[in-house]
Every structure is written in C-alpha cells, then in structure tokens.
C-alpha cells in the first residue's frame, strides 16, 4: 500500500484532481477528491479489486449463482428491479415474470387502498429488513405521498412501540401489513397478535380479512397466523431481508407513493445495477467507493464510517445502512470458514446535517480518531423554503472543506484545525423515488465489493441467532416454573432481580 501526502498538498500539486476524481452514476455526482488518494493508490486499489475477483463474483451474483454459500442460496435482489422483459435465472428458471406478477398484485392493491377513503393509516409490522427499508423510504419520500395516508412502522417487541401507534390510529381506518420473510420472528408475531386483538375487540373477527395483509415467503405460517393467503404478497428466499425494500416488503411505501412512484424507485435501483454491472472499474462508483472503504479499513486502520445526509427526510438512512452494511459485512470468517486476516465491515453511523454539527462534529474536526465521512446533499429541496436550503447546503460544503483543509493556528492549539480528514460528496438534483433507489443500490453494491475483497459471505446473518435462542430460553424463566439458575451467575442474578420485581 502506498501512503499519500495531506489533502492540502494533493490539491495544491494536482489542479485537475477535483475534475478527475468525480464519478457519475445515474443521477448521482460523486466527488471522491477529498479522499487520501492519488493515481498510484487508486491503481493499486483497483488492482486489488481485480485480484479479489470483484468482477467475476459480481457477474456470478447477477447470474443467480448460489453465492450465499452458508444458506446455499442465490442472491438476486437485482432481479426485483429488473424490467418486465428482462431474463434473470435462479436455478434454471426466469424469475422476472414472478417478480412482476407480485408487483402487479401489489399495484392493484395499492391503487385500491389509495382510492378507499375509509383507510387513512397503514401500519407496517416488521423488524430489521422488514421494517428499516420501508420505514426509511416512507420518511424520505413523504413529499411524494398520498395526502390522506399516513404510514406507521412498528418493529420493537417493546410494547411501547405498538402501544404508541395504536393510540394514534382508529380500527376502522387502519390497514395492517404484517411483513416478515420467515413469518417466524417473535417481535413481529407478538406485535401482529396485539394489533389483531385490538382490531377484533373493536370490530369483531370478520374485520381481520379487510384490515390485515401479509408479506412473506412463508405461506404456511401466514395461514397459521390467520391471514388468508389471498391477502398475502410473496417474495423469495433469494431476497435477503436487508435487501428487500424493493420486494413486496415495500408494500407500505408503494401505498404511500403509488405504483408509479414505486416503479420509479425500482428503476433507480436498476440504473445503478446496470452501472455496477457494466462500467469499467475506473468509472464504477460502487467499486471506487468500496475500495476507498477498503483503503480506510485495511491500510489506514479506520474502523468507523459516518454517513451524513444533509436532508432531514433521510434521517433514518444511516440506521438503514447500519443493517445493510453491518449485518452483511460484520463477519469474522471467510467463505472457506477460516478466520479473516484483518478487520471487516466498519461501524456505520450518522445523523442528518446540520443537527450532527452541534453534536459530534467536534470529534470529526479535532478528535484523535479520523472518521471517513460520506456527505449526501441535493440541489433542490422537497419543501418551499429555499433560504433554508441554501443555508443547509452551505453548511454541507463548509464541513467537507473544513474537514479536508482545516485551519492552522499554532498560537492557540485549541483553535487549531488539523484538516486532512477525508470525505466523499454525493450530490443529486433532488431526492426523488428514483434517486433514493439509486442511493440504496449504490450502498448495496459498495457492501458487495467490500465483502468480496474480504472474502466473506455478505448474505448470511448467523450472528443474530445465539441471542434469539437464549432469549427464547429465558422468556419462560422470567415468569414460570423453569429453574432460572442455569446461566452464568450474573445472568442468574439479573433474572432473579427481575422475577422479584416484575409487576403482574
Ligand atoms: O435480525 C435478523 C433478521 O433475520 C434480519 O436479517 C431480518 O431482516 C430480520 O431478522 C427480520 O426477519 P423476518 O423478515 O423473517 O421477520
């Protein structure tokens, strides 16, 4: 690996840098000139991407090979946004007709709900990938939403979540979408049962058919739960939960922004899929940004990454990316089962600007840790207050400038800004459904590139299983007969403390 001089020197010595280190992908303009790169480092990084087989693994993913080896599954979220006439095969079958059949059914249903004045509220009950995507996107695209419809998202098994939502809606005007790939997730089933009881208490058993639909891959469990599978929208095991916002899991979003808006959202993904699939590595945004992340992690020892959208509507985007990135690449073994040699996925976090500026940016500017940043901004807002937007964007540009170039103040060390702090600037004209799809696909493929270089399986999530299993064991111990003394002493004591105090 080759190190680089400070950013101020890189810019001073290379006047063409700001033009050269920009890549366009769809409607996104991505400026990575404030990253610790020169042509040699970049060439080295792209060489490493080639050596790691990024291109062949990418092609294998698009071709429906079972690259998710621990679950022996294809990884085909890209088929969810393929146009109607595309051919994408999984296990020898073209899946595109099935994808569009479900999209058509969703569209007809969404149109019906949008036209039905009795429905004012849609409550999506799901968690993880069955919540974060639609929740994030519904907030991001509220400006494109149906004026009568409000979407709510209930995910946490903490009863406070469903309680708060049920207090805000009326049974007769609420549609519940129970969204769960497996339909076996305890949080979702618990929340769904509570919602169903609440509805039945007000409107009777017969109301369930009109007020509950399901989104799942598991028809049997949906039926067992008591939702007619005629009111179910399906998807497939080759769609990972955190890659599923563009499947039927996006039903709440489709109801909010309409089938045309949802199609534009999918087309945005597809634009970046095509870019990722066809652009040469030197011009390939997910490859470039993925390899810049590899440089930070593997070469420079940086273990976190901040994503800072200068758009209040993207407030949940960092949380969405946390699942996308950390559940995908938070892995310690390679595809062969060996321990990885170095670190893998970064800790992803962030908040919208300018709020973050008055909270954690102090550390970004003068702390001892260097945090690589992705800034996201738009030329035109989805609100009428242009003066606010000019202020917002001036802050965005100022922060990237201040981080990169700092300000020397040798006489007053506390006012010294060292600079040389890296950022990427991702800009687009406006946050539309298409642009949001493009942004999500960009990050999906960045995660893919990095997972490939680290030689890990980005598409399983075994790490979440142990906690689930232990919780299942502890649940009866909190209230009933099982002897709650079979754990370590700390856990035993905590359970005993809770048993002694829990209110009935
Ligand atoms: O947390 C683990 C996980 O399996 C996620 O990957 C998934 O998105 C989430 O749980 C929800 O799963 P399901 O959609 O099956 O309810």
Q: Judge whether 132 and 101 are in contact, CB under 8 Å.
A: no
Q: Judge whether 141 and 257 are in contact, CB under 8 Å.
A: yes
| Per-residue confidence (pLDDT) for residue 279, from 0 to 100 | 98
What are the pocket residues of ligand 1 if the criterion is a CB atom closer than 6 Å to any ligand atom?
Answer: 127-130, 180-182, 185, 188, 241-242, 327, 461, 464
Counting atoms of ligand 1 from 1, which one is nearest the CA of 187? Answer: 16
DSSP assignment of 228-246? -GGGEEE--TTS-GGG-TT
Distance 223 CA to ligand 1 centre (A): 19
Q: Judge whether 191 and 136 are in contact, CB under 8 Å.
A: no
| Per-residue confidence (pLDDT) for residue 481, from 0 to 100 | 73
DSSP assignment of 290-318? HHHHHIIIIIT---EEEEEES-GGGTTHH
Residues annotated as catalytic (active site), given as ranges: 327, 358, 468
List the strands of the sheet with 304-309, edge to edge.
22-25, 28-31, 423-430, 373-380, 304-309, 347-349
Question: Would you call the peptide bond into 354 cis, given omega within 30 degrees of 0 as the criterion?
Answer: yes
Q: Taking residues 12-18, report their average pLDDT.
A: 96
∠ at Cα 466 (460, 472), nearest 5°? 125
CA distance 54 to 225: 42
Distance 488 CA to ligand 1 centre (A): 28
Mean pLDDT for all residues in the chain: 97
Counting atoms of ligand 1 from 1, which one is nearest the CA of 179? Answer: 14
Q: What is the pTM of this model?
A: 0.98
Q: Contacts from 263-267 at CB under 8 Å and sequence distance 24+?
A: 263/103, 264/432, 264/433, 264/434, 264/437, 265/137, 265/141, 265/433, 265/434, 265/436, 265/437, 266/80, 266/81, 266/437, 267/81, 267/434, 267/437
Q: Taking residues 132-137, report their average pLDDT.
A: 98
CA distance 145 to 127: 22
Distance 465 CA to ligand 1 centre (A): 10
Distance 176 CA to ligand 1 centre (A): 19
pLDDT for residue 480 is more than 90: no
* pLDDT tens, position by position, 140-168: 999 999 999 999 999 999 999 999 999 99
* pLDDT tens, position by position, 323-380: 999 999 999 999 999 999 999 999 999 999 999 999 999 999 999 999 999 999 999 9
CA distance 475 to 491: 13
| Per-residue confidence (pLDDT) for residue 252, from 0 to 100 | 98
* pLDDT tens, position by position, 296-328: 999 999 999 999 999 999 999 999 999 999 999
Counting atoms of ligand 1 from 1, which one is nearest the CA of 130? Answer: 14
Half-sphere exposure of 321 (CA within 13 A, CB side): 28
């Amino acid at each position: 690996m080759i190190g680089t001089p400070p950013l101020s020197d890189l810019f001073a010595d290379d006047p063409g840098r700001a033009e050269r280190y920009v890549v366009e992908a769809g409607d996104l303009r991505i400026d990575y000139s404030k990253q610790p790169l020169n042509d040699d480092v970049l060439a080295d990084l792209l060489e490493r991407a080639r050596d790691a087989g990024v291109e062949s693994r990418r092609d294998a993913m698009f071709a429906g090979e079972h690259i998710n080896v621990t679950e022996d599954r294809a990884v085909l979220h890209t088929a969810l946004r393929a146009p109607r006439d595309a051919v994408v095969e999984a296990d020898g079958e073209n899946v595109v007709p099935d994808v569009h059949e479900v999209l058509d059914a969703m569209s007809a249903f969404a149109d019906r709900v949008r036209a039905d004045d009795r429905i004012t509220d849609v409550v999506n009950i799901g968690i993880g990938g069955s919540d974060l995507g639609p929740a994030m996107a519904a907030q991001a695209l509220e400006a494109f939403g149906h004026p009568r419809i409000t979407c709510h998202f209930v995910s946490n098994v903490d009863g406070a979540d469903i309680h708060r939502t049920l207090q805000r809606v009326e049974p007769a005007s609420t549609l519940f979408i129970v969204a769960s790939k497996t339909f076996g997730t305890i949080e979702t089933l618990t929340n769904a049962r509570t919602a169903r009881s609440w509805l039945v208490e007000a409107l009777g058993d017969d109301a369930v058919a009109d007020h509950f639909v399901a989104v799942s891959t598991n028809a049997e469990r949906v039926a067992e739960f008591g939702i007619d599978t005629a009111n179910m929208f399906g998807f497939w095991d080759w769609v990972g939960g955190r890659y599923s916002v563009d499947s039927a899991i996006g039903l709440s979003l489709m109801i909010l922004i309409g089938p045309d808006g949802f199609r534009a959202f999918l087309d945005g993904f597809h634009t970046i899929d095509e870019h990722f699939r066809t652009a040469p590595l030197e011009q390939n945004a997910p490859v470039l940004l993925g390899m810049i992340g590899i440089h930070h992690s593997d070469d420079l020892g940086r273990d976190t990454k901040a994503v800072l959208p200068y758009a209040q509507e993207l407030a949940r985007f960092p949380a969405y990316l946390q699942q996308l990135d950390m559940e995908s690449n938070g892995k310690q073994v390679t595809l062969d089962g060996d321990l990885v040699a170095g670190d893998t996925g970064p800790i992803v976090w962030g908040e919208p600007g300018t709020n973050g500026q008055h909270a954690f940016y102090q550390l970004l500017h003068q702390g001892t840790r260097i945090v690589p940043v992705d800034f996201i901004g738009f030329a035109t807002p989805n609100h009428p207050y242009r003066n606010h937007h000019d202020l917002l964007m001036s802050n965005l540009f100022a922060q990237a400038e201040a981080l990169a170039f700092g300000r020397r103040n040798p006489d007053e060390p506390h006012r010294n800004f060292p600079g040389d702090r890296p950022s990427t600037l991702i800009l687009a004209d406006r946050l539309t459904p298409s642009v949001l799809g493009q942004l999500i696909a960009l990050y999906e493929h960045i995660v893919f590139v990095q997972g490939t270089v680290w030689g890990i399986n980005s598409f399983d999530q075994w790490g979440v299983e142990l906690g689930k299993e232990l919780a299942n064991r502890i649940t009866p111990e909190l209230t009933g007969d099982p002897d709650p003394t079979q754990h370590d002493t700390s856990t035993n004591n905590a359970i005993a403390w809770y048993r002694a105090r829990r209110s009935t």
